[in-house]
Structure 1
Amino acid sequence: MWSRRLVLCAVFMPLAFLVLRDAPVRFAAPEPLALPEVPPGAPQPEIVPRSFWHADEGMVKHAAAYTGRVSAAFIHHTGNSNGYDCADAPELLRRIQANHIKADGWDDIGYNFLVDRCGTIYEGRAGGITRPVRGAHTKGFNADSVGIAAIGTFGAGVPVPKAVVEAISRVIAWKLRPGTDPRGSVRLVSTNDESRYPKGHAAKLHVVSGHRDSYLTDCPGDAMYAQLPAIREMVSALRERRR
């Protein structure tokens, strides 16, 4: 009896390992389970769930897809007006979700996380905040990365609230895979010729990059892009504090 059980375990355990390792993977289960994780580089910040901002789950076209652990973060801005009341952020998120699905043809809202001007962090794309959800935020480089968008427009000369910079830094410090230097660089293979790099090219990018680093766009705006060195330092400090 025991010998038969050992044989079955020997057969199925490697198969289970392959299923969890390979990416991207689509799961039909509506409640995603947390992947086995080593301790994150920094504590998880407070994140407002999709249920709070009333994401339209009926609009979502497919179940979440998953990639490898996060090796890079891409910073965006959403292009909204900056004068909104933070209490109206949930409504803005619903509009962004609808635009991404209906106008852009994506499965769901593209960003993994969004931050309002008061520094509140919102869950974006569905699939589980602790899991490496493949977003639709950075064409060619959605795998093994996290996309974080500041709600607003941060072109040249526009003040970037300190609360936004700090919130973005907390998300990155938490999501980056252990051992990753936020002040360093990473090689990611492009999956789309429409990016700055042809499909199959191993691009050298900052671990903490702006959207414009990989795609022909002004995003995340000159003012936000100028904050990236400060964000890298802040992320590094947060991760050092955890050691």
Structure 2
Amino acid sequence: MHGFLASSVSVTCAAALALPLALSAPAQAGPSAVTSELAAPGSTQSLPLVPLTGERALGSAAPEQGLTRRDVRPFSLVGIVWDNPDSELHGRVEVRTRAAATGNWSGWQDVETHNHEHAADPDTAEGDSGRVRGSTAPLWVGDSDGVEVRVQAEVDERATTAGDSPLPRGLRLELVAPGADAASVGAQPDAPHTDAQPGLSRSGAQVRAPRAGALSAAYAGYAAVDTGRLDPTSATEIPELAPNVIPALSQQETERELLAERPGEQRVKPYIGPRPRIITRKGWGANEKLRERGFVYSKKVKAAFVHHTASGNNYSCSQVPSVIRSIYRYHVVSSGWRDIGYNFLVDKCGNIYEGRAGGVAKAVTGAHTLGFNTDSMGIAVLGSFGKSKPSASAVTAIAKLTAWKLGLFGVNPRGKTYLKSGGGNLYKKGKNVRLNVISGHRDGFSTECPGRQLYSKLGTARKAAAKYQGR
């Protein structure tokens, strides 16, 4: 029989990994020590957890660990990490924070745990890097300067009898400050497309010049990033030339650029949706020095996996660049990943954001669905959707994005496809799995992601995406 100190939190959504990261793990310091990564705008404070109540004599084997209320440097996002990414955190993680503006403390908030589905794909360089750590989902709390945390184990009496620790070793609280918004454009409602707006072909060639010549150099720079033809050692410098926003194109213009790129190959009118407006990495203020250099590509995009970030719904759309910068920093600095895991992110207002670097129109290998990162793309909707419904704008953005991106590769959003599993808890390695072209994370791995409410909207997104393609 199992005894429980706390109810377990269902597994949620985050990213599986692909490549090692050239960053060191947080320093292992005493209980009162704070380490920070200050080489770029924004920062990460890392605080080791300690046993709570009367369990202090057990040290790191204590079934309840945390930190009492304390003052800290300003932060906006929290998460918990631990040493071994193969260890699972079975239990409940709760935090409360003090708002910097008012000095008021929040109530206890759950931080959603997730486990093995958020590790490196088997037999990848990332799996042997030694830099990846186990981690919870991040939680956005807004501008704060005080924190309290408790982690309560779900105790297995048999494991306790055998002397095993009920919680993973090396638990640390990560407090992430996103840095200033000066370099980002912020979120905006979708702008109507016009044929006069500049466009980029999938190969990165400029299709139309902007009406004002000021953007020409910026788009040329972004085209270089999009093609991935540059020396990877210099790739971190290129996005400084990129535009903040890739504008929307009409369906006619989108078809025209695709046909121009593939003379002789595409002899019939393609099924492709109009390119949506996309806020680039520069637009949300990504610090390209954080991520690992270079890019990894698949041969094509055959499927899209939809996720939620499980970071909570307490954000405004004007805050989204800060939210994404915080998730990016948490993925890279705290969890040891090579870049943000998702290929794209969507907010509640329907804005679409470039995620993992390498080119929005290319088959960039992401880190989002363990076992199925090859030949797929990952779209994460900002928020938690186990109980809360996603906005209609977010579902529409998923449809528009998939209609365009899948259309570049000739894929029907309402169709089925086969992907070969890299290994996981639903499908063994090497198995060819038949999936919906637009699937939820839970279709490839046993997880609650993307949340029941968002998952129930995927049928709507499939129908709308096919309609945008003209099917």
TM normalised by structure 1 equals 0.81
Give the corresponding residue for 1:141. Answer: 372
Deviation, 1:90, is 0.5
**How far apart in 2 are the matches of 1:169 and 1:26?**
32
User: Matches of residues 50-69 of structure 1 in structure 2 within 5 Å?
Assistant: 50-69=281-300
Instruction: Tell me: CA distance 1:185–1:118, structure 2 relative to 1, closer, same or farther (3 Å).
Output: same
> How many pairs were matched up?
213
- Secondary structure of residue in 2 paired with 1:149: strand
Deviation, 1:140, is 0.9
Q: Is the 8 A contact 2:426 2:446 kept in 1?
A: yes
Aligned amino acid, residue 161 of structure 1: S
Instruction: Tell me: CA distance 1:40–1:99, structure 2 relative to 1, closer, same or farther (3 Å).
Output: farther
Among 431, 434, 437, the alignment partner of 1:201 is: 431
1:169 partnered with 2:169: no
Give the corresponding residue for 1:93. Answer: 324
- Secondary structure of residue in 1 paired with 2:470: helix
Q: Is the 8 A contact 2:271 2:410 kept in 1?
A: no
**How far apart in 2 are the matches of 1:68 and 1:92?**
31
Among 413, 416, 439, the alignment partner of 1:182 is: 413
Q: By percentage of residues, which structure has more helix?
A: 1
Aligned amino acid, residue 198 of structure 1: K
**How far apart in 1 are the matches of 2:275 and 2:412?**
18
**How far apart in 2 are the matches of 1:105 and 1:26?**
25
CA deviations on 1:96-141 (whole Å, 9 max, x unpaired) are 1112113332210010000111111111110011111110011111
Aligned amino acid, residue 314 of structure 2: G
Give the corresponding residue for 2:8. Answer: none
Root-mean-square deviation (CA), in Å? 2.2
**How far apart in 2 are the matches of 1:129 and 1:234?**
21
- Secondary structure of residue in 2 paired with 1:57: coil
Aligned amino acid, residue 440 of structure 2: G
Give the corresponding residue for 2:131. Answer: none
Give the corresponding residue for 2:452. Answer: 222
Among 128, 149, 154, the alignment partner of 2:385 is: 154
Aligned amino acid, residue 108 of structure 1: D
Percent of counterpart pairs with the same letter? 44
Over alpha carbons, which structure has the higher Rg? Answer: 2
Among 454, 461, 464, the alignment partner of 1:231 is: 461
Aligned amino acid, residue 102 of structure 1: V
**How far apart in 1 are the matches of 2:330 and 2:427?**
26
Displacement over 6 Å in runs of 4+: none
- Secondary structure of residue in 2 paired with 1:176: helix
Aligned amino acid, residue 279 of structure 2: V
Deviates more, 1:35-44 or 1:171-180: 35-44
**How far apart in 1 are the matches of 2:321 and 2:328?**
11
Instruction: Tell me: CA distance 1:109–1:144, structure 2 relative to 1, closer, same or farther (3 Å).
Output: same
Aligned amino acid, residue 123 of structure 1: E
Give the corresponding residue for 1:74. Answer: 305
Aligned amino acid, residue 141 of structure 1: F
Aligned amino acid, residue 122 of structure 1: Y
CA deviations on 1:72-115 (whole Å, 9 max, x unpaired) are 00000001221211110011101111121133322100100001
Deviation, 1:203, is 0.8
Gaps of 5+ in 1: 1-24
Deviates more, 1:221-230 or 1:52-61: 52-61
**How far apart in 1 are the matches of 2:293 and 2:372?**
20
**How far apart in 2 are the matches of 1:184 and 1:67?**
20
**Higher RCO (C-alpha under 8 Å, 6+ residues apart):** 1
Q: By percentage of residues, which structure has more strand?
A: 2
Give the corresponding residue for 2:272. Answer: 41
CA deviations on 1:11-48 (whole Å, 9 max, x unpaired) are xxxxxxxxxxxxxx99626259xx96666711210000
Deviation, 1:199, is 1.2
1:120 partnered with 2:340: no
Gaps of 5+ in 2: 1-228, 240-257
